[in-house]
Chain A
């Protein structure tokens, strides 16, 4: 899992480094997932509650990344935990509880999209994956400071927009990879397709995301420039950004 990444963005998150929320319930956080699962399998409600406390936000982030609506994502999380409890007896611990849970979340999220079809799927030709030209990866996004960029509402809104423009398959792969750090093989299993297809979807998804976000940086609003630079230009990337801004904003 990817929550213990090195060099991750410092963000004002309430989730700790293991993606676990501190629990004030009877079980606390001292028990590991295996003990909690074993207790829950014996009918211990508090143990299952602790598992919920630990993973509900992480499960939500995954669901939200795919379905893109808060209420829908909450529904997916709710159904996922109900399903997880129903089949808990069949969970043998071959993977971690969260790995098992995210598969349930992912399947439900994809099912939800298929049922509701809020987003029109736009598929690229996934059999082709050519390097270079129009479809090459781009060398920069937001001047190398994603932490600061995320403090800006305009950028977060643009990330949302960019995610919305991706097809369901591209977005699902991107979210699985970027949020959960799944391998291509794991994603291929989850999406019932080949590793080559996963690689292609991921490449196009990233390329499209980069393109969407660079539009923002190439045509930044004055407010964005000021938010990103803090009004001071001492970084070459920031200076470049400021040059492209139409007008400086006065606060």
Chain B
């Protein structure tokens, strides 16, 4: 067997070969100094890249990591507070599930009853729904209290109740009055 090829060298360096194949590559590397140099170069680059990145991490001042920890800590605390409030609510709900259901059903029943009664009441009222149901005082039909006999005519005594209080009106109509004259 000749020198291991590049793929074999890489798989060997990365520990991806099975034991038998790895032993075979080891044996061939013993006999092939050029292949051994390539394998060493692979290892060297691994060390270069790894150590370079670790040194890059060491170049970052500790205060930068302190700052990101503070952000992490704030984020955790905020989430825990939110989660805590929700947990309390759901916990309370779990403990009082029976009462909550009974209460909800009762409230629903009362609301339905109120709605039903309101609808019935509205059905008995004026059909012109939405119209203003207040008439000016002058147009009101005043209650007739009693009639009054007067000479040459007739009179009517009216008692009115409005925002100004109680008013009594004596209305006299002459007998010889002709409509339109």
Q: Identify the A interface with B (CB < 8 A).
A: 2, 5, 7-9, 11-15, 43, 45, 48-49, 52, 56-58, 60-62, 64-65, 70, 74, 77-78, 81-82, 85-86, 129, 131-132, 136-142, 144, 146-147, 149-150, 156, 159-160, 163, 174-175, 177-179, 183-184, 199, 202-203, 206, 209-210, 213
B64 with A174: CB separation less than 8 A: no
Q: Which 8 residue pairs are nearest across A and B when measured between Cβ atoms?
A: A61-B57, A178-B49, A78-B68, A139-B37, A57-B57, A61-B53, A131-B5, A9-B51
Chain B contributes a number of interface residues (CB within 8 A of A) equal to 43
> Whole-angstrom distance from the CB of A43 to the nearest CB of chain B?
7
Which B residues are CB-close (under 8 A) to A144? 40, 44
B69 with A156: CB separation less than 8 A: no
Given contacts A141-B48, A213-B48, contact A64 B68 (CB under 8 A): no
Which A residues are CB-close (under 8 A) to B144? none
Q: What would be 18 A-B contacts, judged by CB atoms less than 8 Å apart?
A: A9-B47, A9-B48, A11-B51, A15-B57, A49-B69, A57-B57, A85-B76, A136-B6, A138-B41, A139-B34, A140-B41, A141-B48, A146-B44, A159-B49, A183-B15, A183-B16, A199-B10, A213-B48
With the chains together, A55 CA to B50 CA distance in Å? 16
Which B residues are CB-close (under 8 A) to A58? 57
Which A residues are CB-close (under 8 A) to B47? 8-9, 146-147
A8 with B51: CB separation less than 8 A: yes
Q: Which of B7, B41, B65, B75 contacts A139 (CB 8 A)?
A: B41
Given contacts A45-B76, A206-B45, contact A15 B38 (CB under 8 A): no
Given contacts A144-B44, A175-B49, A209-B49, contact A64 B14 (CB under 8 A): no
With the chains together, A36 CA to B117 CA distance in Å? 64
B38 with A13: CB separation less than 8 A: no
With the chains together, A47 CA to B84 CA distance in Å? 20
B33 nearest CB neighbor, chain A only: A139
A14 nearest CB neighbor, chain B only: B58
With the chains together, A7 CA to B73 CA distance in Å? 38
Which B residues are CB-close (under 8 A) to A206? 10, 42, 45
For the A-B complex with A56-B69, A179-B54 known, give 20 more contacts whose Cβ atoms are closer than 8 Å: A14-B58, A49-B69, A56-B68, A57-B57, A57-B58, A74-B68, A132-B6, A136-B6, A137-B6, A137-B9, A139-B37, A139-B41, A140-B41, A150-B52, A156-B52, A156-B55, A178-B50, A178-B53, A179-B50, A202-B10
